[in-house]
Structure 1
Amino acid sequence: SIRCCVTVVFAFRLSEYPVSGAKSNYVKGRQNLSVEPIRISLNMRVVVWDLDETLILFHSLLTSEFSKANPSCHAGEAFSLGQKWQDAILDLSDAKLFYAELEGICLSNISDIEPFDDGEELAEEDVQNNAPQELFRFPCKGVAQRIRKCCIRYLEGLETLSGDKREFDYWSSIYIDTDVAVGGWLSHARKLLRGVTEQADSDGGEQVHMVVVTLGELVPTLAKLLLFKLSEFFEPGSVYCAREVGKEQCFRKIRNIFPPSSAFAVVGDSPEEEAAARALSWPFLRIALGGGGGGSAGARPAPCDSTVSRGRRLTDVRPADVLALFGGPGRRPPGIRARDAAG
């Protein structure tokens, strides 16, 4: 059940934990879960990213799908790495993020738990012990306390969260070994996300905001983002879970957060994401495990209302390819509509 969750645009905010510079400004004390709109401009370019087999590789290592698409990656090595990731994700989720108590609580976003949060601190023995006290069945005050603590720990970062240099070094070694085995896929994901933001800032166009959409539960998704070194790009409140409602409904929820004049695009690997993007007339860039299907890195992605796109490896995608989905600074490509016109 640790596949992953969905994402997007509200920023997680503690009363003393500002959205910007949060990691260095945290002050201990009484806090509430507060979900407030990110500071947004009237015109925004919103990139909705899938996680598994798009920005990260995990399941395809265990199933040998990646090795079949990339014979240079030995299936046995890929499977061993996949098992290490599986253990690391579960260990981090259980030991540091209260997953042993929260498993089965499927939240679409941290905002779901806000009505149950009264700002009361989780008992210190629960924080220090991390031993499961009970398995929660429904959202409640105890769930809210643990989710709030999860978000604080997420924002503090993996090295601080581990508290053990040997453990942190082991997690880092899995990342490095995997990145080598898969041809730099993981490190390219970081470069791509950073490049999209930097290029958007320099092109003088509309502001860009990135969200992540996935299918698992919220806590393991936060663990994945930490372990795969992607947490700096996605606030906890920008992570949504489509497990119960599906991708299209999550995309519609994302659309409703932003001003009607905003433009949206999706990057992912599955037909469900492509169908959801098509339903909202959002451009879609398909990621494929193997190369050769998606054209050159500089080729413009097909609009979502075309035939199903063939896809390309993430390592063949450049920041300009992602921004090209929006038709250039200040322009909308055909098929992007304001939310009130998209249905």
Structure 2
Amino acid sequence: MLCPYSDTSGSESDSDGNESPVNGLGLADGSTSPLKADNARRSRESSSSLGSETRSRGRGRRTNTVSPATPESTTNRVFIWDLDETIIIFHSLLTGSYATKYHKDAQNVVQLGFKMEEMVFNLADTHFFFNDIEECDQVHIDDVSSDDNGQDLSNYNFSTDGFHAASAAGSGNLCLAAGVRGGVDWTRKLAFRYRKIKDTYNNYRNSVGGLLGSNKREQWLQLRQEIEAVTDNWLTLANKCLTLINSRSNCVNVLVTTTQLIPALAKVLLFGLGNVFPIDNIYSATKIGKGSCFERIVTRFGKKCTYVVIGDGQDEEAAAKTLNFPFWRITSHSEIAALYNALDMDFL
């Protein structure tokens, strides 16, 4: 039985200076849960070059909080994951902090980070209309679906539909609540783009190489292999946890990231996570914060579910504490391994 949030953290450092705190989730009777984790914290995703700071130049957005309405009656446990530095190593590659912590070749590590960043933005721009809609960021892929009239898009020409021209005419007042820059017609074209993004994600979530094409596919596979090697199989360890959760009929993985939604979708695909994260289970907290995203998820799955938050940052930890959700901190390989053991033994 999982308990309400209880932080029983304490911290030690090993001979290499790496944090090896002693922390876990406290049980209601005051004893120590078998859910043990090391406790070190670093700030990353909110300042990531693919997070809420960079390439987010919009001043507003259409507010339309439509979450999937499909009843989730068979779900009784929801695992809410952070992305950067929890499931994947990304921002700390770019800054070199991962290389410093784990005694890696800093130049090589940073270069790998830049290569992946470039690949993420190329995919977002080429296949997910990021050049068109980066200032129209949404929390969820279906947030503008109510503006979609269901038109057949098989022969629709997005490059000549006038959306870009209408956007350019607004001189910065993009995506306001009233749906300016073309009114109903413009917001419908925005909704078309989000529908196309959803279709593309669903079609290629398990075959990213087909989306990239043969040349880029080889570059991508090589880059993935090099990042996995330099991060000592971090993603492989995290993916074991995700896959185990995904195999349970009554459990679900949900992603809440401070990266904008479109680059987040590109990240998920390029790091091979499409099979464990359906697009309906991905939320961007860039505009509304993680606490508000968590509340939306509770509205979707219901208050009878147990929610477990997994992350490395203060934002998701604070949001978990506010909602009385158990929080599992991930800042090292050993903590991911401990999480897998807890899942494997049905403690979580």
**TM-score computed with the length of structure 2 as normaliser:** 0.70
RMSD between aligned alpha carbons?
2.7
Residues 82 and 149 (structure 1), Cα distance of their counterparts in 2 relative to 1, 3 Å cut: same
1:112 to partner: Cα distance: 1.2
1:90 equivalent in structure 2 = 121
1:103 equivalent in structure 2 = 134
Indicate the SS of the match to 2:149: coil
1:178 equivalent in structure 2 = 227
2:50 equivalent in structure 1 = 2
Q: Deviations over 1:135-177 (max 9, x none)?
A: 8422611111111111111111112322x21111111111111
CA contact (8 A) 2:51 2:258 kept: yes
1:63 equivalent in structure 2 = 95
Q: Are residues 1:159 and 2:180 paired?
A: no
1:53 equivalent in structure 2 = 85
2:192 equivalent in structure 1 = 145
Q: Deviations over 1:73-124 (max 9, x none)?
A: 2111110000001100010000111111011112011221112111124474
2:22 equivalent in structure 1 = none
Indicate the SS of the match to 2:319: helix
Structure 1: gaps (5+ residues): 6-32, 202-206, 292-296, 298-311, 329-343
Structure 2: gaps (5+ residues): 1-48, 54-65, 168-173, 180-186
Counterpart of 1:220 (choices 263, 267, 271) is 263
**TM-score computed with the length of structure 1 as normaliser:** 0.71
2:146 equivalent in structure 1 = 115
1:196 to partner: Cα distance: 2.5
Residues 168-247 of structure 1 mapped to structure 2, 5 A cutoff:
168-198=217-247, 200=248, 207-247=250-290
Residues 134 and 267 (structure 1), Cα distance of their counterparts in 2 relative to 1, 3 Å cut: farther
Residues 190 and 134 (structure 1), Cα distance of their counterparts in 2 relative to 1, 3 Å cut: farther
Partner Cα separation in structure 1 for residue 100 and residue 105 of structure 2 = 9
Q: Deviations over 1:200-231 (max 9, x none)?
A: 45xxxxx1011000012111111001000001
Counterpart of 1:40 (choices 58, 65, 73) is 73
Partner Cα separation in structure 2 for residue 225 and residue 212 of structure 1 = 10
1:126 equivalent in structure 2 = 157
**Structure 2: which amino acid aligns with 1:186?**
L
Indicate the SS of the match to 2:143: helix
Partner Cα separation in structure 2 for residue 132 and residue 88 of structure 1 = 25
Greater Cα radius of gyration, structure 1 or 2: 2
CA contact (8 A) 1:197 1:208 kept: yes
**Structure 2: which amino acid aligns with 1:143?**
L
Residues 276 and 35 (structure 1), Cα distance of their counterparts in 2 relative to 1, 3 Å cut: closer
CA contact (8 A) 2:67 2:140 kept: no
Indicate the SS of the match to 1:266: strand
Partner Cα separation in structure 1 for residue 154 and residue 161 of structure 2 = 11
Counterpart of 1:80 (choices 111, 115, 122) is 111
Indicate the SS of the match to 1:37: coil
Indicate the SS of the match to 1:225: helix
CA contact (8 A) 2:51 2:286 kept: no
Indicate the SS of the match to 1:156: helix
**Structure 1: which amino acid aligns with 2:69?**
E
